[in-house]
Structure 1
Amino acid sequence: MSRSRSNNAGPARTARPALDALLADGAGDPVRRAMWLDTLDRRLHSLLPPTLAAHARLGNVNGHRLVYLVDSPVWHARLRLAGPEILDAARSIGLDVTEFVVKTTRPQPRAPQPRTAARPLSARANEALRDAVATLSGDTTGKDTS
């Protein structure tokens, strides 16, 4: 009788977590960058004015450009006014940035609205529905016999 599972638990058989496996080679570079941007966003987020923090997030660091995303034109204008302070904060944590860019993103699609309860049928619609069911069931009188 052969065994389908091996009991060899040596180093070659030890499974690595999926993230470690992904980051082990060059294919993990975009993941590493996304993780770095996320960490950076968290650090800079706490330095934003409280009114802006809920509407702005770090989009990218592209060379000497610090790119932020906001959810409406109103917040775009307000974040641009706070740009010099945000650049100073970014420099204080070690970023070599000299340009501040704000982009407005599209509004997120709204969640579908819950369906409202069906309205009761009018007397005429109710009669037409009964006639249609009667026709399909072979009852030509249209009267409910139950």
Structure 2
Amino acid sequence: MSDSKPRLPRPHSSTPRAALDALLAEPAGGPIRRALWLDELDRRLRPHLPSPLAAHARLANYECGRLVFVVDAPVWRAKLRLVAPELLDAARSVGLDAAELIVKTTAPATAPAQSHRKAKPMSAVAQQALQAALASLKDPDHSGPEDAS
């Protein structure tokens, strides 16, 4: 797992603390404790990133001396790799035995398919059918299809 022991935030009241203690009980609490520890580690390392980069990078994991960061675009991956020595030094300053930085790029969030589609022009036959349908709605003498029999 990790070389450092996870530090947990302390709840302020006794009721949430009892719930948190129950949630973190072994063995089910292991992944939750790890997630809280990684979140705290991310908060400690984020100030060492340049401000534009910090908004696009997040610590995803730390294991076996490797810091794994996730960024949302290839440009941020390149920028994060440039500050790798400073980031590894910062990780060592908080007690980690960090030797390597791995940067992964997440898949871009896709917008709904509708926003990328352009409307196709209507054929002449479709336009005529639409005009006829609209005209029939405006004609008060036109009776509905139920009267056609």
Same fold (TM over 0.5): yes
Q: Does 1:89 align with 2:94?
A: no
User: Aligned with 1:58: secondary structure?
Assistant: strand
Contact 2:48/2:86 (<8 A) preserved: no
Residue 29, structure 1, aligned to residue 34, structure 2: no
Displacement of 1:85: 0.6
Q: Which amino acid aligns with 2:133?
A: A
Alignment of 1:46-125 (within 5 A): 46-110=47-111, 124-125=129-130
Change (3 A) 1:81 1:94: same
2-side partners of 1:16 and 1:95: how far apart?
Answer: 28
Q: Is 1:139 matched up with 2:147?
A: yes
Query: What SS does the corresponding residue of 1:25 show, helix, strand or coil?
Result: coil
CA RMSD of aligned residues (A): 3.0
* Unpaired stretches in structure 1, ≥5 consecutive residues: 1-13, 115-121, 142-146
Per mean C-alpha deviation after superposition, the further-off stretch among 105-114 and 20-29 is: 105-114
Runs of 4+ aligned residues of structure 1 deviating over 6 Å after TM superposition are: 111-114
Q: Show CA shifts across 1:27-72 (max 9, x none).
A: 1000000000001111111111112101111010011101111111
Matched length? 119
TM-score (norm 1): 0.69
Alpha-carbon distance, 1:128 to partner: 2.8
Deviates more, 1:99-108 or 1:32-41: 99-108
Counterpart of 1:45 in structure 2 is 46
Q: Which has the higher contact order (CA 8 A, sep 6+)?
A: 2
Bigger radius of gyration, 1 or 2?
Answer: 1
1:17 shift after superposition:
4.4
Equivalents in 2 of 1:31, 1:18: separation in Å?
13
How is 1:10-29 mapped onto 2 (pairs within 5 angstroms)?
A: 17-29=18-30
Query: Between the two proteins, what is the percent identity of the paired residues?
Result: 56
